[in-house]
Amino acid sequence: MSAKAIQAIEISKRFGTTQAVRTLNLDVEQSEFFSLLGPSGCGKTTLLRMIAGFEKPSAGKLLVGGKDVLGVPPHKRPVNMVFQSYALFPHLTVFENVAFGLKSGPKIKSDALAIRVGEALNLVRLSHLSERFPAQLSGGQQQRVALARAIVNRPMVLLLDEPLSALDPQIREEMQSELARLQRQLNMTFVMVTHDQDEALALSSRIAVFYNGNLEQVGTPIEVYERPSTPFVARFIGNTNLISGTLLSSDKCSAKVKLGDQKEVVINNSTANGVAAGSKILVSIKPQALTISFSDLQNGLPSKVTSRSYLGASTEYVVKANLGVDLRVSSVTGQGILFDIGDDVVVDADWNTCAILKEEAGELNAAGGQNETAVEVKEQTAAGGEKKGD
Question: Domain boundaries in the chain?
Answer: 6-226, 239-380
pLDDT in tens, 247-260: 999 998 999 999 98
pLDDT for 74-99, tens place per residue?
Answer: 989 999 999 888 889 999 999 999 99
Residue 366 has pLDDT above 70, yes or no: no
More confident site: 166 or 121: 121
Give the alpha-carbon dihedral of 241, 246, 248, 253, to 10 degrees. Answer: 30
What pLDDT, in 10s, does the model give residues 251-295? Answer: 989 999 999 867 889 999 988 888 899 999 999 999 999 999 987
Q: Are 239 and 371 in contact (CB under 8 A)?
A: yes
* Average confidence score pLDDT of the chain: 88
Measured in degrees and rounded to the nearest 5, phi and psi for residue 5 equal -65, -45
Contact criterion met (CB below 8 Å) for 276 and 255 = no
Percent of all residues in the chain with a pLDDT value above 70, rounded to a whole number:
91
Residue 164 has phi, psi (to 5 degrees) of -115, 5
CA distances from 111 to 106, 108, 118 (A): 15, 8, 11
Beta-carbon contacts of 244 under 8 Å, excluding residues fewer than 6 positions away, are 259, 260, 280, 281, 282, 283, 325, 359, 364
CA distances from 295 to 19, 70, 308, 348, 359 (A): 52, 64, 19, 10, 32
The mean pLDDT of 113-117, rounded to a whole number, is 92
Residue 202 is predicted with a pLDDT of 93
Terminal Cα-to-Cα distance of the chain (whole angstroms):
34
Least confident of 8-17, 103-112, 226-235, 275-284: 103-112
> Above 60 in pLDDT, residue 167?
yes
* 166 to 45, 112, 143, 270, 347: CA distances (angstroms): 16, 33, 10, 41, 40
CATH of 239-380, one of 1.20.1070.10, 3.30.450.40, 2.40.50.140, 2.130.10.10: 2.40.50.140
CA distance 12 to 21: 5
CA–CA separation, 155 vs 189, rounded Å? Answer: 9
SS3 label, residue 13:
strand
CATH superfamily of 6-226: P-loop containing nucleotide triphosphate hydrolases (3.40.50.300)
Looking at per-residue pLDDT, the higher value among 376 and 131 belongs to 131
- Long-range own/partner contacts, residues 311-318 (CB < 8 A, 24 or more apart): 316/287, 317/292, 318/371
Is the predicted pLDDT of residue 103 greater than 90, yes or no? Answer: no
Q: What is the DSSP letter of 180?
A: H
Report the run of H or E that residue 124 belongs to, with start and end: none
Contact 332, 318 (CB under 8 A): no
Q: How many CB atoms lie within 10 A of CB 299?
A: 12
| pLDDT tens digits, one per residue of 30-73 | 999 999 999 999 999 999 999 999 999 999 999 999 999 999 99
- Whole-structure pTM value: 0.86
Helix (H) or strand (E) holding 183: helix 169-186
Would the CA dihedral through 367, 372, 374, 380 be positive or negative? Answer: negative
